[in-house]
Chains A and B, each alone.
Chain A
């Protein structure tokens, strides 16, 4: 079978790709996409730990379900805010949204 550490390494790599996208990005929608990638990496960790170490794999999967619900909520709210920003300012580039900048 596959060692548990392989899953953990893959999840770490996915998380860091998402982190790079989050830091290097200037576009609100792709930032949200990177955020979803990071959440996916965390869920993969949860499911892998539940399969390898937990009898019946109950609590790990339950945590994964909660993360799914929160990820759906933040995606919906983030995209609604993106559309709202675009409607008000005609741009979704985060370096153009600088009204609060002193």
Chain B
């Protein structure tokens, strides 16, 4: 039942989920940012277990190196570092909604016969194939170009927004 990979999975899942919960209930915004980073680390470890090392690298570079650091910088700029945070009037309703959503998804997962083992062999050296698929006209060339256009527009709009007027 509890083999080594399963125990490893449970360990990383505990890190990811536990620090996510701590992020949501943290008393200070700055602490919440650090718990979020720990949660991202747990998810990156799970990508290693899914034999997707490229996704692990992306998770570390993009989320921890990019988004989390950007969050911390935004907290510093808005001087919210040591302010105690206030929650909504009624966190109980929010908890109830989140819990009911979770039980609905859990019910749906338990209805379906998901496999216990991977049905396909582990992908070997498929990163060049993904790269070709991204720029293939019959693949994802159009969404790829749209995403690059989106990132360009975001860059311009953030520059415009951040300008002192």
Contact = CB atoms under 8 A, between A and B. Distances in A.
Interface residues of A: mostly helix, strand, loop or mixed? helix
Interface in A41-81: 43-44, 47-48, 50-59, 61-62, 64-66, 68-73, 75-77, 79-81
B158 A37 contact: no
A10 B15 CA distance: 11
B85 A27 contact: yes
Contact of B123 (A3, A33, A57, A79): A57
B129 interface: yes
Interface in A1-25: 1-10, 12-21, 23-25
Given A79-B70, A80-B162, A16 B50 contact: no
Contacts, number: 223
Contact of A47 (B5, B29, B55, B70): B55
A83 B88 contact: no
Majority secondary structure, B binding face: helix
B80 to A, nearest CB: 7
B126 A58 contact: yes
Contacts of B43: 14, 40, 44
A84 B162 CA distance: 7
Interface string B38-74: 0110010011011110110010001100110011011
A58 B71 contact: no
A5 B123 contact: no
Contact of B67 (A1, A36, A70): A36
Contacts of A40: 39-40, 43, 63
A42 to B, nearest CB: 11
A2 B62 contact: no
A4 B67 contact: no
A18 to B, nearest CB: 7
B109 A62 contact: no
Given A18-B20, A26-B85, 17 more contacts: A8-B109, A14-B39, A23-B97, A25-B88, A29-B75, A29-B80, A32-B71, A34-B23, A50-B52, A62-B139, A75-B66, A75-B67, A77-B158, A80-B157, A83-B74, A83-B78, A86-B77
Interface of A: 1-10, 12-21, 23-27, 29-30, 32-34, 36-37, 40, 43-44, 47-48, 50-59, 61-62, 64-66, 68-73, 75-77, 79-84, 86, 92-93
14 contacts: A8-B109, A17-B17, A20-B91, A20-B94, A24-B88, A27-B29, A33-B23, A34-B24, A37-B36, A56-B126, A73-B150, A79-B73, A82-B78, A83-B77
